[in-house]
């Protein structure tokens, strides 16, 4: 019961996670056949319209409209934490905002916060650019290379949806009350912020920094476990094998390796192997393998994104999945209203 593990709370056509086989289907497609193969705008169409053959979702106009709003967001984008800033800025959108505009706004606010947090002015979007390339351009104020844009696009598609994860469930709970889409997305952003969900990539890099070199990995992991810490980027509630998204992101990273990130990739691989070995001995019977955050961290770092921007970047892609779940819940779901078992005190007279 604790954590609702194994409990089915909805029927869905969005995505299927097979934790034993290590398979993720996105509207019936294996993640490895979509991410890095089909542009994110088509993946968005698959999620919002149900088919890759539908016209790609044009997120450009929504980016332009969202940028227009930035000066009217008050102090939302000045909050110190990127997810707090995202929550506060998205909350100001009109509750009737349609899914493409909402998704575009999340990316624009995430990029603008990334600039502001570094004391830089937000960069206006180029509505004619691809969503992934424009996201990088809005963060860096320079056009990305084709390889960088492709890696960003692959990342967005990889994390677009993932079964009944905590933020998706949060969105569906809000949708089930017949509340509006923006409210559902704000709830999802709040859930994604937590480090047991979307907040792990930054700590993964802290770990890589602390390990320093491949040879030091095993001893470092042993010491961390001895201190009672968890190895960030390892383990998953559903997967009992390696998260299939880790392989897709590792492939995207290889596409960037000619930019001189080979050493970091080699370190990440060494830490993953060491963590697998040590955790297998430490927790026999519980396969703890790399999750999506492990290579997210390495990939987003290679794309030059500041660590504080990692979870807002995740949200910029996942918002499409949240919107698809919102629609599905509104179309077919009932009010989500589970029960709790009261274990607190009762009046003496009832004893």
Say how far residue 148 (Cα) sits from the centre of its chain. 18
Nearest distance from C-beta of residue 306 to ligand COA, angstroms? 19
> 118-148 burial, b if ≥16 CB within 10 A, otherwise e?
eeeebbbbebebbbbbbbbbbbbeeebeeeb
Q: Which is nearer to ligand COA, 31 or 231 (CB)?
A: 231
Q: Which is nearer to ligand COA, 43 or 232 (CB)?
A: 232
> 265-275 burial, b if ≥16 CB within 10 A, otherwise e?
bebbbbbbebb
How many helices (H) and strands (E) would you count in the chain?
15, 3
- β-sheet bridge partners, residue 290: 234
Nearest distance from C-beta of residue 260 to ligand COA, angstroms? 27
Say whether residue 237 binds ligand COA (CB under 6 A): yes
Catalytic residue among 236, 250, 272, 325: 236
Q: Which is nearer to ligand COA, 6 or 260 (CB)?
A: 6
DSSP letter (8 states) at residue 165: -
Residues binding ligand COA: number (CB under 6 A) = 17
* CA-to-CA dists, residue 96 to 67, 87, 100, 158, angstroms: 18, 17, 12, 28
Q: Please confirm, yes or no, whether 140 is among the known catalytic residues.
A: no
Q: Which is nearer to ligand COA, 22 or 235 (CB)?
A: 235
Do residues 10 and 333 touch, judged by C-beta distance below 8 A? yes
Nearest distance from C-beta of residue 217 to ligand COA, angstroms? 14
Nearest distance from C-beta of residue 35 to ligand COA, angstroms? 16
| Burial of 2 from C-beta contacts in 10 A (0-12 / 13-18 / 19+) | exposed
Do residues 147 and 252 touch, judged by C-beta distance below 8 A? no
Of residues 232, 246, 267, 278, which one binds ligand COA by CB under 6 A? 232
Q: Which is nearer to ligand COA, 111 or 211 (CB)?
A: 211
Site string for ligand COA, 184-213 (x = CB under 6 A): ------------x---x-------------
- β-sheet bridge partners, residue 15: 26
Q: How many whole angstroms separate alpha carbon 207 and alpha carbon 28?
A: 35
Q: Which is nearer to ligand COA, 240 or 330 (CB)?
A: 240
Nearest distance from C-beta of residue 218 to ligand COA, angstroms? 14
Stretch of residues binding ligand COA (CB under 6 A), selected from 77-85, 127-135, 225-233, 329-337: 225-233
Site string for ligand COA, 284-323 (x = CB under 6 A): --x-x--xxx------------------------------
Residue spans of beta strands (DSSP E) within the chain = 15-18, 23-26, 29-30
DSSP letter (8 states) at residue 234: B
Of residues 69, 116, 230, 330, which one binds ligand COA by CB under 6 A? 230
Nearest distance from C-beta of residue 231 to ligand COA, angstroms? 4
Q: How many whole angstroms separate alpha carbon 280 and alpha carbon 62?
A: 47
Q: Please confirm, yes or no, whether 301 is among the known catalytic residues.
A: no
What tokens appear for 218 in the block? 């095993």
> Which positions lie near ligand COA, rule CB under 6 A?
196, 200, 230-237, 279, 283, 286, 288, 291-293
Which residues are catalytically annotated? 236, 293
């Amino acid at each position: 019961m604790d954590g609702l593990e194994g409990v089915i709370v909805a029927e869905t056509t969005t995505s299927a996670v097979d934790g034993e086989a290590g398979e993720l289907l996105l509207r019936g497609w294996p993640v490895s056949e979509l991410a890095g193969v089909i542009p994110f705008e088509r993946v968005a169409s698959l999620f919002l319209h149900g088919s890759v053959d539908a016209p790609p979702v044009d997120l450009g106009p929504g980016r332009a409209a969202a940028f227009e709003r930035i000066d009217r967001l008050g102090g939302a984008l000045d909050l110190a934490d990127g997810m707090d800033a995202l929550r506060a800025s998205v909350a100001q959108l009109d509750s009737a905002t349609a899914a493409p505009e909402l998704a575009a706004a999340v990316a624009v606010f995430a990029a603008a916060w990334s600039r502001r947090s570094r004391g830089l002015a937000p960069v206006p979007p180029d509505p004619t650019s691809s969503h992934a390339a424009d996201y990088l351009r809005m963060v860096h104020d320079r056009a990305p290379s084709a390889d960088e844009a492709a890696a960003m696009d692959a990342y967005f598609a990889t994390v677009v949806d993932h079964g009944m994860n905590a933020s998706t469930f949060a969105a569906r709970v809000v949708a089930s009350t017949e509340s509006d889409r923006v409210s559902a997305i704000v709830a999802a952003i709040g859930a994604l912020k937590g480090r047991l969900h979307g907040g792990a990539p930054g700590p993964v890099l802290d770990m890589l920094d602390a390990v320093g070199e491949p040879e030091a990995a095993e001893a470092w992991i042993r010491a961390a476990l001895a201190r009672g810490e968890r190895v960030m980027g390892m383990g998953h509630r559903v997967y009992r094998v390696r998260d299939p998204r880790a392989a897709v992101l590792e492939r995207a990273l290889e596409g960037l390796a000619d930019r001189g990130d080979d050493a970091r990739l080699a370190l990440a691989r060494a830490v993953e192997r060491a963590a697998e070995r040590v955790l297998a001995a430490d927790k026999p019977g519980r396969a703890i393998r790399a999750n999506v955050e492990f290579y997210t961290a390495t990939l987003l770092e290679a794309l030059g994104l500041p660590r504080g921007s990692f979870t807002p970047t995740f949200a910029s892609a996942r918002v499409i999945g949240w919107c698809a779940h919102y629609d599905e819940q509104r179309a077919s779901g009932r009010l989500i209203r589970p029960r709790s078992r009261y274990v607190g005190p009762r009046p003496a007279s009832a004893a």
